Amino acid sequence: MKNNKITDTIHYAGTDDKAIDLFESQYIVPKGVSYNSYVILDEKIAVMDGVDERAEEVWFQNLERILDGKKPDYLVVSHMEPDHAGNIQKFMEKYPQAQIVVNAKALSMLPQFFTLDMNARSVVVKEGDELVLGKHVLTFIMAPMVHWPEVMMSYEKTEKVLFSADAFGKFGALDAEEDWACEARRYYFNIVGKYGMQVQALLQKASALDIRIICPLHGPVLSEDLAYYIGKYQIWSSYEPEDKGVLIAYASIHGNTGKAAEKLAELLRAKGVEKVVVSDLARDDMAEVIEDAFRYDRMVLAAATYDAGVFPCMDSFLARLKSKNYQKRRVGIVENGSWAPMAGKVMKESLSQMKEVTIVEPVVTIKSTMNGASEEQLALLAEALV
């Protein structure tokens, strides 16, 4: 992106947020996040989405610079979540001639967020409708539940640009030097993961389009090797494993269950398992562990018993897996309990509510610390996981 230009007529108006502590009040973003907004300059000028209220000052400055005295005709709203829609009212007040382009669902949500009545200034669009800006023509593509019900994307056919809303987005500011897939995958599974079926439907529609550039609402504009990014979305949204490997996620109170997890990792590595990742659910970023659960084809849950159930961070991990539609995987179980081990039973029950999850036997039981018998069981589990 040179001089904040995507093409000669499409400009970047968004901004990075490196001061945010938690995105959506739940995800750590060590390298920040970007709120992307774009401006299409033509006979009519369209602003494609806004930014979070946190970034309002920079956004309006960017708009003024790009508009260079001209006035915007449209604000196209793909998504009502406040990280993009927080400034709609201020925009509509600042540019009183502008119309807001929304679908019917987004229109009905406007009064939930804003006091300004925008009905008379709305252009309401539906699937396949076109908005002619001059040479540029936007076609609207409904993408419900990717990842809110009102989400829509816009395809600009002259320059072959897909404005993809949150799809193909990632955590990390635009200048973060990092691999796209890692933070895009963490973003996808934690934020959009539940809605694989809807993402598949969207990819089906997108396959009919000739796309040269993808402009998402977070992260870099994608303009090369688009098959790579679309391929990743195909895998992720179908819940198929992306890589061969074993995630061992453990919940340990005093460290003994953690030791068993490390022992199992050692056994698996000795058996030549390509990739083994060990994560401490009490301390590691759980969003990253969720990402790995979907990334690899096998997982082992190791947890201590607590309050006649399972240690809380494992309980929370299982609840997240379920809500994100975890499925199609082989899962091993290691439980620990000093007097009445219950963790295995609870974990099994949770997993039984997920689609196509196969429990890999044996379920390993440790009583307080590993001994000869439990080490033997771990070896059998390692063997069965290879």
Q: Which is nearer to ligand FEO, 91 or 168 (CB)?
A: 168
Asked whether the beta carbons of 33 and 23 are under 8 A apart, the reply is: yes
CB of 252 to ligand FEO, least distance (A): 34
CB of 48 to ligand FEO, least distance (A): 13
Q: Phi/psi zone of residue 338: left (φ > 0), alpha (ψ -120 to 50 degrees), beta?
A: alpha
- β pairing state of 74-76 and 46-48: parallel
> What residue ranges bind ligand FEO (CB under 6 A)?
79, 81, 83-84, 147, 166, 217-218
**Closest by Cα among 129, 146, 29, 18 to 79:** 146
C-beta closer to ligand FEO: residue 34 or 377: 34
HSE (side-chain half, CA atoms, 13 Å) at 50: 26
Whichever of 170 and 320 has its CB closer to ligand FEO, that residue is 170
Asked if 92 and 118 count as a contact pair (C-beta separation under 8 A), the reply is yes
Q: What Cα–Cα distance (Å) separates residue 253 from each residue in 209, 215, 286, 313, 314?
A: 52, 45, 17, 10, 11
Least Å from the CB of residue 167 to ligand FEO: 10
Nearest partner of 292 among 181, 167, 147, judged by Cα:
181
Say which residue the tokens 């084809």 belong to.
297
Rank residues 136 and 320 by Cβ distance to ligand FEO and give the closer one.
Answer: 320
Q: Residue holding tokens 């401490």? A: 280
For the beta carbon of residue 200, count every other beta carbon within 10 angstroms: 14
In whole angstroms, the minimum distance from the beta carbon of 386 to ligand FEO comes to 40
- Minimum Å distance from CB 210 to ligand FEO? 26
Q: Select the residue whose beta carbon is closest to ligand FEO and give its number.
A: 81
Tokens matching residue 137: 């023509």
Cβ atoms within 10 Å of 115's Cβ, excluding its own? 7
Least CB distance to ligand FEO at residue 203 (A):
18
Cβ atoms of 304 and 234 within 8 Å: the answer is no
**Shortest reach from residue 218's CB to ligand FEO, in Å:** 6
CB of residue 144 to ligand FEO, shortest distance in Å: 13
User: Are 337 and 343 spatial neighbours (Cβ–Cβ below 8 Å)?
Assistant: yes
- Residues making up the chain, counted from first to last: 386
